[in-house]
Amino acid sequence: MSTYSESNFNTKHYNLARPSYPDEFYNTLMDYHNSTNSAYELALDIGCGSGFVAFKLLDFFDKVIGTDVSSTMISQCRKTAKPNQNIQFLEGAAELSPPEIQENSVDLITGAECCHWVDHDKFFKESFRILKPSGTLAYWFYKDPIFVDYDKANEIYTNYTYNSSLETNKDDTFERYMGPYYQQPGHDYLRTLLKEIDVPTKYFKDVVRHEYDPVYEGADSTKTTLYISKKITLPVFLNYVKSWSAYHSWMKEHGDKYDVAEAFVEELKEAMGWDDTFEFEVVWATVYTFAKKK
What pLDDT does residue 17 have?
58
With both helix axes pointing from N to C terminus, report the angle between 260-272 and 151-162 in degrees, rounded to the nearest 10.
160
What pLDDT does residue 16 have?
55
Query: CATH number of 3-145+183-228+285-293: 3.40.50.11740, 3.10.20.590, 3.40.50.150, 3.30.420.40?
Result: 3.40.50.150
The pTM assigned to this predicted structure is 0.90
Please state the length of the chain.
Answer: 294
What pLDDT does residue 38 have?
72
Ranges of residues in the chain with a pLDDT under 50 are 1-9, 11, 13-14
Read off the pLDDT of residues 11-39 as tens digits, 9 standing for 90 and up.
454 455 578 899 999 999 999 999 986 79
What pLDDT does residue 9 have?
46
Q: Is 201 left (phi over 0), alpha (psi -120 to 50) or beta?
A: alpha
Instruction: Provide the 8-state DSSP code for 47.
Output: T
Cα angle vertex 247, ends 138, 145, to 5°?
50
**Cα–Cα distance for residue pair 37/230, rounded to 1 Å:** 34
Domain layout of the chain by residue ranges: 3-145+183-228+285-293
